[in-house]
């Protein structure tokens, strides 16, 4: 029995980071929506943001969802948000990455 699950990085031969970049390139509206959701939370007084919450909010807001919106991408989106909004660094808790 194969260990890899269809759609996983092992089955596709692409890393999660490679899959993320492909998804992000085809769905730039996802990043913009996450950016707005995080900005609203911080403006409302939040000092910490768990990106899983805005991720799920986004899934509910989009009428048909977003095919391929993978939970594995939350950390990569958090890092991108911090990269583009360094003032948000303290709002996110990041772990050291084990893989590229």
**End-to-end Cα separation, the chain, in angstroms:** 27
**Count of H-run helices and E-run strands, the chain:** 5, 0
Using CA atoms, how far apart are residues 26 and 22, in angstroms rounded to an integer? 6
Q: What is the mean pLDDT of residues 65-70?
A: 78
Weakest-pLDDT range from 1-5, 44-48, 56-60: 1-5
pLDDT at res. 62:
75
Mean pLDDT of 51-76: 85
Tell me: pLDDT of 56 over 60.
yes
- Please, are residues 38 and 49 in contact by the beta-carbon 8 Å criterion? yes
Q: Give the confidence band of 60 by pLDDT, cuts at 50, 70, 90.
A: confident
């Amino acid at each position: 029995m194969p260990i890899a699950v269809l759609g996983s990085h092992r089955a596709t031969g692409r890393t999660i980071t490679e899959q993320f970049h492909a998804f992000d390139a085809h769905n730039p509206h996802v990043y913009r929506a996450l950016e707005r959701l995080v900005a609203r939370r911080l403006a409302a007084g939040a000092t910490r943001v768990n990106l899983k919450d805005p991720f799920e909010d986004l899934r509910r807001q989009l009428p048909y969802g977003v095919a391929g919106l993978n939970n594995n991408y939350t950390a990569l989106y958090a890092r991108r948000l911090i990269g583009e909004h360094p003032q948000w660094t303290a709002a996110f808790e990041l772990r050291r990455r084990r893989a590229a």
